Structure 1
Amino acid sequence: MTEITWEDPFCGEGASCFRLGTDTTGNAYIAVAGQEDHYLTDTREALRTLIHDIKAGKADHLL
């Protein structure tokens, strides 16, 4: 199994908190905080773009 290094949770104004993680092979992961065993994976750049868009208010409904 891949070893994922998780960052501190990012929490929006609501109750949802997400965590981002990376592995040594260049993959990125996103999961709901506390449920890191159920995650989505993609390239670091794709998930970075998603998070920047969420923080910019382009996808408030996701939080």
Structure 2
Amino acid sequence: MPEVTWEEPFCGEGNNCFRLGTDADGNGYIAVAGQEERYLTDSLEALRTLIADIKAGKADHLL
């Protein structure tokens, strides 16, 4: 498992909390808080777009 630096959890109203992380190679990670060993990884730009859409309420059903 790569060395991932996780941010504080983000929790939507009534939804699961998730965490974003990065590694030394510039990869982005997203995981449900408390389950960081089971993560998705993609480019930072792809994950930023996903999170921005979730925060804007466009993809709330994903959580």
TM-score for the superposition, normalised by structure 2? 0.94
Query: One-letter code of the match for 1:27?
Result: N
Q: 2:20 corresponds to which residue?
A: 20
Q: 2:29 corresponds to which residue?
A: 29
User: Offset of 1:19 from its aligned partner?
Assistant: 0.3
What CA distance in whole angstroms lies between the structure 2 residues aligned with 1:34 and 1:57?
Answer: 23
Give the SS at the match of 1:42.
strand
What CA distance in whole angstroms lies between the structure 1 residues aligned with 2:35 and 2:44?
Answer: 20
How many residue pairs end up in the alignment? 63
Per mean C-alpha deviation after superposition, the further-off stretch among 6-15 and 33-42 is: 6-15
Q: 2:42 corresponds to which residue?
A: 42
RMSD: 0.9
Deviating above 2 A after TM superposition, structure 1's stretches of 4 or more consecutive aligned residues are: none
| Percent of residue pairs identical | 79
Instruction: Return 5+ residue gaps in structure 1 as ranges.
Output: none
1:13-37 C-alpha deviation (Å, 9 max, x unpaired): 1140000000010100000000000
Q: 2:2 corresponds to which residue?
A: 2
TM-score for the superposition, normalised by structure 1? 0.94
Q: 1:61 corresponds to which residue?
A: 61
